[in-house]
Structure 1
Amino acid sequence: MIERLAIPVCAVLLLSSCDDVSMTQQKRYGTLSRAALFENGSEAQPLPEGVVAQGDVERKNRTQQRPHISAGLLARGRERYDIYCSPCHGLSGQGDGMIVQRGFPAPPSYHSSRLRAAPAAHFFDVITNGHGVMFSYAARIDPSDRWAIVAYIRALQESQGANVADTPELRTRLP
């Protein structure tokens, strides 16, 4: 008998503690609203001096650590490049991706003399922060994958300028 009464009594007690008005109409500041409580008059407060967001130190270290070039790194770079970069830059890096074929402004070719001479950090920075109409991929692509993409871009640049005479071992394999 007591067990049968316990469940309805608990339910009544729990539901009676809910007050729709206080739960839906809370006294709070809206985003970027004026707030007399703070000296600068704004609800949005700057971070205190010396505060580091959780994970920022590790993330910064990972952006500065350049990986060693390996076949695995290039394979990962190609995979990430095909996903994130090829829609605009094209599979060969000429700037003729599918988005460009549909009217979007063409990005520069990776094979231009300016980008061939650019340091690897330039490509990493552009992937991280964006440039021109390209938006930032910092939140979408992990720093290690950004370095893999940079390595693959360098491989693309080398492949487009490659000559059979530069690689004598290929001459024996090609008819």
Structure 2
Amino acid sequence: MRLRQVCLVAENLEPTLETLGTLLDAEVCYRDPGISFFGLENGLFPVGTDFLEVVAPVREDTAASRHLARRGEGGYMLIMQCEDGVGAREHALAQGAQAVWQTDEKGIHATHFHPRSVPGAIVSLDSMEENEGDPGPGRRWDWAGPDWRGQLRDNGVL
């Protein structure tokens, strides 16, 4: 299991991305339109072959909004890449963890677990089947979009 993506939550996305981009000497590699499902907007930075993500709520009724009200800006979610997302999910559930979202589509097996289960942050256990001829470096990571490898820089690790 590998920590592949660290997610921060911020009140205002753009100024936070600008500051982090300057500090990391990096550009946002992807903005995922799919996270609007969770009432969020985001931006991801590649850090080595891992990722730093910042999310911000675009609605009041989101887990991120509640997190900001309770704890303020900062750490929000850890996304772990594992070989077997289904097996990792089943193991966590057997240990009493509470899943709050999961998907098993397009070769992706991912589960978000409630922060009370961990505790402290949302943890996601994700696996992605490799695509035929998938180029390196790094393994498939759809959460960073289709072109993240083109923005790789050896500017650090998470």
* TM category, shorter: under 0.3
Rg larger in structure: 1
Relative to the length of structure 2, the TM-score reads 0.27
Which has a greater percent of helix?
1
Structure that is richer in strand per residue: 2
Q: TM-score, normalised by structure 1?
A: 0.25
